[in-house]
């Protein structure tokens, strides 16, 4: 996925959704968004920001606070977070930065903006219960490796528990999880 710079264009008042921040603050993990005072600890301690020209957690948080809904949700940059939780642990305002970013990703996913790697994992979980399709060869090899057989999964039971989840309801409609 290409990196794109999210905020080079001037911000127009018409882009701003003043209620966006409250919508985020209502979601699990997004509650403390409003506490952020933009000190930049998250960005300066972020290992990804060190090597990415565009990923800046402080900027993402500010965009969310400002209400730049489409700009932040359509940004590829959102998906670069490695979820190492350094920002969350070091935030002096106790903002769960990585969780706010996760909330934003969830909202982006509802719109269908999801990198392929996540779609593949979701599809695999629905099919087998595991995030990766474990090759038959690997399963057979276990015996020669003196490992006990891999316990039998129950993908049908997994599918039942997930059938009322919004993200997977898109799956049924479009044949794949939250297609673009």
Partner 1 sequence: MGSKYLIFLGCAIPYRVSAYEISARKVLSKLGVELVEMPEFNCCGLPLDPVSHEAMLILAARNLALAEQQGLNILTLCPGCAGTLKKVNKILKEDKTLREQINAHLKEAGLEFKGTVTTKHIMQALTEDIGLETIRKAITKPLTNLKVAEHNGCHILRPKEYIGFDNPEDPQTLKTLIEATSATCLDYIDETECCGAPSVGVSDKVALQLARDKLSHIKMVNAQALITICPFCHIMYDTNELRIEKMFNETYGIPVLHYPQLLGLAMGIPPEELAFNELRVDATKIVKQVTEGAKQE
Binding site for partner 1 (CB under 8 A): 1, 3, 27-29, 47-48, 50-52, 55, 79-86, 88-89, 96, 98, 102-103, 105-106, 109, 114-118, 121-122, 125, 129-132, 134-135, 138-139, 141-142, 145-148, 150-155, 157-158, 160-168, 177-178
User: First vs last Cα of the chain: how many Å apart?
Assistant: 14
Of 32 and 62, nearer to partner 1 (C-beta) is 32
* Distance of closest approach, residue 133 Cβ to partner 1, in angstroms: 8
What is the separation of C-alpha 167 from the centre of its chain, rounded to a whole number of angstroms?
12
Of 65 and 170, nearer to partner 1 (C-beta) is 170
Token readout for 95 is: 């903002």
Of 19 and 90, nearer to partner 1 (C-beta) is 90
* Distance of closest approach, residue 83 Cβ to partner 1, in angstroms: 5
Q: Which residues contact 37 (CB under 8 A, 6 or more apart)?
A: 93
* Distance of closest approach, residue 48 Cβ to partner 1, in angstroms: 6
Of 63 and 91, nearer to partner 1 (C-beta) is 91
Contact 73, 20 (CB under 8 A): no
Q: Which residues contact 119 (CB under 8 A, 6 or more apart)?
A: 176, 177, 178, 179
Output the 3-class SS for 46-83: CHHHHHCCCCCHHHHHHHHHHCCHHHHHCCHHHHHCCC
* Distance of closest approach, residue 9 Cβ to partner 1, in angstroms: 23
Of 2 and 13, nearer to partner 1 (C-beta) is 2
């Amino acid at each position: 996925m290409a990196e794109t710079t999210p905020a080079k264009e001037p911000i127009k008042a018409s882009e701003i959704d003043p209620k966006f921040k409250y919508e985020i603050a209502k979601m699990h993990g997004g509650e403390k968004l409003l506490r952020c005072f933009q000190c930049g600890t998250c960005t300066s301690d972020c290992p990804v920001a060190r090597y990415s020209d565009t990923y800046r957690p402080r900027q993402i948080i500010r965009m969310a606070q400002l209400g730049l809904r489409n700009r932040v949700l359509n940004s590829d940059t959102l998906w670069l977070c490695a979820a190492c939780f350094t920002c969350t642990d070091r935030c002096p305002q106790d903002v769960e930065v990585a969780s706010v970013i996760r909330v934003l990703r969830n909202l982006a996913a509802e719109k269908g903006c999801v990198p392929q790697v996540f779609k593949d994992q979701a599809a695999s979980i629905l099919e087998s219960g595991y995030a990766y399709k474990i090759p038959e060869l690997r399963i057979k090899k276990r015996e020669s490796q003196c490992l006990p057989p891999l316990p039998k999964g129950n993908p049908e039971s997994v599918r039942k528990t997930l059938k009322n989840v919004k993200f997977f309801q898109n799956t049924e409609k479009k044949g794949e999880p939250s297609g673009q």
